[in-house]
Amino acid sequence: MKRIAIFASGSGSNAEKIADYFANKADVEISLIVSNNPKAGVIDRARRLHIPVLLFDRTTFYDTKRITQLLLNQHIDLIVLAGFMWLMPSNLVRAFPNKIMNIHPALLPKFGGKGMYGHFVHEAVVAAGETESGITIHYVNERYDEGQIIFQAHVSIVPSDTPDDVAHKVQVLEHLHYPRIVEEVLMNDE
């Protein structure tokens, strides 16, 4: 049995898509939803899906090794970030080398880095007059959006597109590709 922990800070739509994707696969389990936000929508989604939730604060995450140790004790095979906004601490990255992955709502290396998440990314893409955007699925290291790229998918942008239009197009790509790429990474690690 392969075990996945999903880290999320927001509504949890990607977390739910991943959980749905693996719901009928006997060899994979979403073992835990991990969040730093006690008001995140992902918590309600996790409860509805009967997935345990672990909440933590900044001090626990950065000043202790409790989260890392808990994930090791739970025999987590892969950590999937799905709208998780905090930088991963070094002890966690070292404990799970090439076993932490993230999805970014743009084509890295463009529009990445600290502060470039969610709507900020789509606003920057439109302001720059880009003709395409997309998603980048990548491994996580100790810097924002600089880990090795695993997969990218592109979407066209027309001059009349607003940041909301781009966000919708990108979310379609996220929901279509992220669960499948999570499975590929998980199964290629045997």
**Is-catalytic flag, 168?**
no
54, HSE (Cβ side, Cα atoms, 13 Å): 17
Residue of 75, 104, 122, 168 with catalytic role: 104
| Amino acid letter for position 12 | G
Rounded CA-CA distance 66/172 in Å is 35
Residues with Cβ within 8 Å of 44's Cβ and at least 6 positions away in sequence, in order, are 12
Rounded CA-CA distance 153/175 in Å is 12
Catalytic residues: 104
